Amino acid sequence: MDDQPNQAAGPQRIMELSSGLWASKALSTALELDIFGDLAAHPGSTTTDLARRLDLPPRPARSLLIACAALGLVDRNGERCFNTALSDQYLVRSRPTYFGGWVEMVDKHDYQGWMELKTALIENRPTCWDPDQNSSLFDNGDPVMLESFWEAMTAVSTITARELGPWIDLTRSHALLDIGGGGAAWDIELCRMNPHLRATVFDLAHVCRLTEDKIARAGFGDRINTVVGDFFADSELPGGFDTVLLSSILHDWGDVDCCRLLRKCFSALPPNGKIVISELLINDSEDGPLDAALMGLAMQVETWGRGFTASELTRWLIGIGFADVEVIRISAPAANAGVVARKP
């Protein structure tokens, strides 16, 4: 009997895939209700305790806590509930490692567009926002959406910068231009790692306003500043920088625009200047990895971009004039690779 194929395994896997939204909504709803914050303040609470404090009826409170436990976000000890190490570190708002901004952004902003994925594919246009009303995802004037989006970007960028930063040699870099670096998460982390480094965030006006507060709160106002601009509308990028950074930028745009931006980076850099690119790259065989593949698909509903391979990016860079292209493989929420190249 052991050699017999498991007839339930196939349908069970399909069911797991098709009900992925259930798990995601359980997480985002528990976060919105502040289940994890409440358990951090009152560890060992019972379902009844939580239901009373969060003003939930007992039946749904019990179902949500069971789901959170099954997802590895709540530990049960009899009737008593505790955060797991995962939820306590990343889903409690007061923690410096809080990652809930990403969860909130996906839940409040992305899902509506994903529900229209077929439309996005057939019409070849984003569904998370109206291309007839806005020029891009990033010029949305809704302050709630903007705050949610940049909190999400800060969450993923901080962890990614901590993973990739130590592998990037910036010992000879003194002035870094972070192109589209709203939130300054990368700049804060790189300046912590490199005490000699100064950084400038180059982004849209409303993004710079949000970013300046984050820089001040991190205590880097003397080493990180912002410059307002538009890396497509402006004829050139600011000069005077020996390093430029593109973190999760290129996947938002079509191939022609990507190469146009890379040429602007090349022109702005001095000889021996460095470009650093952080991205989720697709395998050259175009069969994964899953996070990069799904991010590429997400670009169909969010932007005009797509996922691309290390070979494609290397070809673009060399064609523009960069040399010594290096691909650094990592594992992080917003990137699986850093690509570094030099202007001869």
Residue with the bigger pLDDT between 299 and 146: it is 299
Token readout for 10 is 């196939």
pLDDT digit string (tens) for 4-20? 556 667 888 898 889 99
Residue 150's pLDDT is what?
Answer: 73
Is the confidence at residue 72, as pLDDT, over 80?
A: yes
**pLDDT reported for residue 268:** 97
What pLDDT does 1 receive? 45
Query: What's the pLDDT tens digit per position in 92-117?
Result: 999 988 999 899 989 988 898 999 99
Report residue 139's pLDDT band, with 50, 70 and 90 as the boundaries.
low
Q: Structure pTM? A: 0.90
The amino acid at residue 257 is D
pLDDT at 10: 80
pLDDT at residue 293 greater than cutoff 80: yes
pLDDT for residue 3 is more than 60: no
Q: What is the pLDDT of residues 164-193, one digit of tens each?
A: 999 999 999 999 999 999 999 999 999 999
Complete edge-to-edge strand list for the sheet that includes strand 175-179: 224-228, 198-203, 175-179, 243-247, 274-279, 337-342, 323-329
pLDDT digits 0-9 by tens, 227-273 = 999 999 999 999 999 999 999 999 999 999 999 999 999 999 999 99
Residues involved in catalysis: 251
